[in-house]
A and B are shown apart, each in its own frame.
Chain A
């Protein structure tokens, strides 16, 4: 097969092909039954407790936000949701976690100087972007070392 013999696999084409595969191959996910989850979050200056929430895709999540010192708020990146709690009061927010990944939630009411950095994290299912990025980093390193060998 002379045609096949003349084909020279360009390593970069292979790398790009693999990278595209890493980017777009669907992530294996275990089927889970959506459940109701309730998180009670205490918001004090610059801190949410707990700061990391987890849910499965499709879960119905209720967040009860209690402000312990001054007025605090909560909005979740990627979810068009916002709530505010007065000191000593509890505000409630319910939504369906229909977007998979890792999302930061932030305080929406100026509560002090570190207010812009008052952040928590909502993890819905697998953080596919993170895992794909890890694999791509490894591939980038292998490509770098392979290039060194040449």
Chain B
């Protein structure tokens, strides 16, 4: 809940409890405003550096789509597959999200064409196109992003390996983004549909970076709300309680006449571990979908079960229907059911009665570190042995027998069998301990309340260990 329309206390923001909480958060130690670095502020205020990077990523994705659609159909020899699912997907999980939160969103090219049409300009606003309708209230939240991620999971074996499908998926993402920009106001696609946005958003809460208002009193006195008007996401920075929704586009920074925004370096996981009063079951569900998806992806792509790979790949066959039902059952029934049971058991054991929905939404925060580390461990397991393919597809991006780097047909296959499994164990143990720590903070004084959650986390960790190194 960060949009202007949803904030009834806007006019008296400084007196509101939420604003007080934000002001208190501002005084918490362990924050360093990166904008104090003299050369960084001009770089962020100026739209050109960001535009140049986004133009490059746009060119990269246009080339990816082209390679996917006209290049070889052999996935491991096509730039589209290797660039998207090995290079970009790995970079997203190993660097962008854990260290920069939603920093990828700030340079993502997918919303760019829609933004330009909607605004009627690239760097400056003109007479834009589009209906600028409000996004339907009943479709708000992360539900659609969870659905989009599940949809990708159902077709993952083909999407991740067939260049044509990868190409068309990205055409569809660009098309959907443009279409929604022409119908709805601001970045409706990024905020409510984009599965990558959902993924980066929930795990951005663990990242050591945040954009926050410095002094809410100043915002309360500022009638123009230029930060809100300038935000392509439709967010009002005063209302930020976490970093799940802010795409770090820096437009608020450019619009604020008072320089009242900070880009803070903060401890990892600073957003999580605080009891939340709002029931955000959509976020809890998205968190569980991420856990279920990483279990399923690890089974399909890293496990030794050929029948499972074949079932996941044979779209439309009876075997695939079986895979799809299993995948959906894991994500929609098994994990949500077990987690709800764990939360319920915690309440039953301690005799404390909170609304179960609120507790599920609250306790799901504890799953975020473990989920992030599980995704990183999974990525390490499958991406490191395949890193040699990146060089190969730069040498011959379309699989047409080119030899741009003079590397010939030599495929460099690094032997990571020594340290990769150890690294995966370390990552999962860090995730388990971090999650236990978050659970502790959520437990208030009664530790017994979160013991079933800890057991849930342990079971998930053991499952991942078995799939990855067992």
Contacts and interface: CB of A to CB of B under 8 A. Distances in A.
A114 B74 contact: no
A5 interface: no
Interface of A is mostly: mixed
A102 interface: yes
B470 A130 contact: yes
B313 A144 contact: no
Interface residues of B, number: 55
Contacts of A89: none
Nearest to B418: A78
Interface in A97-113: 101-104, 106, 110, 112-113
B304 interface: yes
Contacts of B254: none
B432 A137 contact: yes
Contacts of A51: 304-306
Chain B CB within 10 A, most for which of A52, A116, A118: A116
Interface in B415-470: 415-418, 421-422, 425, 428-429, 432-433, 435-437, 439-440, 443, 447, 450-451, 454-455, 457-458, 461-462, 465-466, 469-470
A127 B162 contact: no
A46 interface: yes
Nearest to B162: A113
Interface in B279-320: 300-307, 309-310, 313
Contacts of A133: 425, 428-429, 465, 469
A117 B306 CA distance: 9
B347 interface: no
A78 B470 CA distance: 15
Given A48-B304, A114-B313, A137-B465, A77 B76 contact: no
B216 interface: no
Nearest to B424: A133
B229 interface: no
Contact of B450 (A115, A130, A138, A148): A148
A120 B390 CA distance: 23
A128 B168 CA distance: 44
B317 to A, nearest CB: 14
Contacts of B326: none
Nearest to A121: B304
13 contacts: A101-B421, A114-B157, A114-B310, A120-B304, A129-B422, A130-B465, A134-B462, A134-B465, A140-B436, A141-B432, A141-B457, A145-B436, A145-B454
Given A104-B304, A113-B162, A113-B313, 12 more contacts: A47-B309, A75-B413, A113-B73, A114-B157, A114-B313, A115-B76, A117-B309, A119-B303, A120-B304, A133-B425, A140-B429, A148-B436
Interface of B: 73-77, 157-158, 161-162, 300-307, 309-310, 313, 382, 385-386, 389, 413, 415-418, 421-422, 425, 428-429, 432-433, 435-437, 439-440, 443, 447, 450-451, 454-455, 457-458, 461-462, 465-466, 469-470
